[in-house]
Structure 1
Amino acid sequence: MKRLILALTIMGAPALAQDVITYDTEQSFDDVIFGLESAILDRGLVVDHVSHTGEMLERTRADLGSDMVLFTQADVYSFCSASLSRKVMEADVMNIQFCPYDIFVMVQTDTPDKTTIGFRSFPEGAMKEVEALLDGIARGAIGLDQ
């Protein structure tokens, strides 16, 4: 019994689900993606990876026994800021868990005329500066910061 208690103490509390910040627009998926790429590059950042999540889910849908089509299109853009990442990790090295930063763009099959762009929120403290960066990029991608 003491070993179990010790193991639970060492493991700590489980991570809690984070809130998501989203913006909806009537702009096309392609227009929002173009705006997102531009907003990232305009800040001197580089896209590290694009995850074509919607394509993957559709490609594997039948193999997994599902008949539900979730998205007409959905991508996740991953990128980082060396200066901001250093700043937040100097404040708390455990902020490494949030890097790289992700912004998703999706069109759900049940709302084909609406494109959603968003990102996860971050905990209070140094990571709020990263959240502000992502918010500016997301809003800029759909023309809300102009």
Structure 2
Amino acid sequence: MRILLWAGLTCVVTFGVAQAQDTSVVYPFDGSFDDAAFSVENAILGEGLVIDYVSHTGEMLNRTGGDLGSDVKLFEAADIYVFCSAVVSRKVMEADPMNIAHCPYGIFVAERAGEVMVGYRTYPEGPMQEVQSLLDGIAREAVGLE
């Protein structure tokens, strides 16, 4: 279910310098999908974090489209890097244990219509803004803004 939610989230993304929408923040990447994926992975690892899983959402959507009666190709490629931060997670969950609903965290890389993007889901006001700040720093690092 989480993968489908991420897939839906990435489907509504458009480009700009960094576009904040109700559900996501997206930065354009000047380069290939593979370069963006490598950059995101390095930015996550550079924060001392461990990538728990890489969801190949684009492959899944492309593979299953025909079975679902659709010939629409949503992405050339789309991956979601899933990880957590023990330090930040403990802090936000000590503030409100129900913040567990937001964990783990993810940053997506996607290519659509020849344009590559890096982004993440937005979080509610309050303690979860610390997570959003972490994700924003990683995304900005990956696209070369920091």
With the length of structure 2 as denominator, give the TM-score of the two structures: 0.83
Counting only pairs closer than 5 Å after superposition, residues 123-142 of structure 1 correspond to structure 2 as 123-142=124-143
> 8 Å contact 1:45–1:79 — kept in the other structure?
yes
Q: How does 1:62-81 map to 2 (within 5 A)?
A: 62-81=66-85
Supply the RMSD in Å over aligned alpha carbons.
1.2
Residues 1:30 and 2:39 are matched in the alignment: no
Establish whether residue 21 from structure 1 lines up as the match of residue 25 from structure 2: yes
Q: Distance in 2 between matches of 1:53 and 1:115?
A: 15
Q: Does 1:100 align with 2:101?
A: no
Provide the TM-score with structure 1 as the length reference: 0.83
Output one character per residue of 1:53-98: Cα deviation in whole Å (capped at 9) or x when no partner.
0000111111111111111000011000001100000000010001
Contact 1:46 1:79 in 2 (8 A): yes
Which 4+ residue blocks in structure 1 deviate beyond 6 angstroms?
Answer: none
* Contact persistence 2:65–2:72 (CA under 8 A): yes
What is the Cα deviation at residue 26 of structure 1? 2.5
Code of the aligned partner of 1:81: S
Deviation at residue 18 of structure 1 after TM alignment: 4.6
CA contact 1:39–1:137 (8 Å) conserved in 2: yes
Equivalent in 88, 93, 100 of residue 89 of structure 1? 93
2:81 touches 2:108 (CA, 8 Å); kept in 1? Answer: yes
1:121 maps to 2:125: no
| Map of 1:55 onto structure 2 | 59
Q: Which consecutive residues of structure 2, in runs of 5 or more, have no partner in the other structure? A: 1-20
Same amino acid, percent of matched pairs: 58
Quote the residue 2:11 is aligned against. none
Aligned residue for 1:6? none
Runs (5+) with no aligned partner, structure 1: 1-16
> What SS is found at the alignment partner of 1:129?
helix
